[in-house]
Amino acid sequence: MISEEHKRELSQQARRLLEQAADKFRNDPADREATANTIRGLIRIACVEFGLAETDPLMAPANALINALHELDIGKVKPILKRPKTALQQESQSTSAIKAHAVVALDLLMKYESQTKASFHISKILQQLRFSTQQAKIIKPDTVRRWRDEVRNPENSGSELVNMYNLLKSQPRPFEDESLNRERIRNVETQLRQLVQGMGAAGVL
């Protein structure tokens, strides 16, 4: 518990902090110090209201937020300020995985048949499995070829799709076996089909 005198002192400090922060914020809505001071002022008000010390565990989340705001100045982003992964983001990750596998499968099929035929086979599989993206509700051969162009574009280096694609390409002989070309093509298609079906069964599509 804190004394009445300390409560009065905290109330005065809170008032000053809120007033100063409001002035700064009016001039610059992006002023993080103004935001931090507002939080400090509210902490003091809560301490007065409930008779708590500023270091009380109940104040920990607010103090953590102040610390996180200061960490931004040195380029660190605390988890409290990071955007949480939503269902939409998880869907995006699984979509990137399917697209990356499709492009790897397309690369392999193009060893044995034309790009036109290979992209047709890949798109047909994804259509049968009712796979779609936000950009393409129906996966056409052109869609698959466009994914390959995305992967090969240097400007997309470091994207989730490219990273997944590179990881798959680094694995020894992905999707492939030592059988005849016709059987190899069937094997690649089967592997892609099983992948999409497996991700759907796991609830990630």
Mean pLDDT of 82-97: 68
Average pLDDT over residues 69-94: 74
Q: What is the reported pTM?
A: 0.52
Nearest to 125 by CA among 111, 114, 109, 112: 109
Q: Given a cut of 50, is residue 109 above it in pLDDT?
A: yes
* Domain residue spans of the chain: 4-81, 87-201
pLDDT-based confidence at residue 148 (cuts at 50, 70, 90): very high
In this structure, are residues 43 and 63 in contact, taking their beta carbons and an 8 Å threshold? yes
172's CB contacts (< 8 A; 6+ apart) are none
Q: Is the pLDDT of residue 65 over 60?
A: yes
Using an 8 Å Cβ cutoff, are 115 and 149 in contact? no
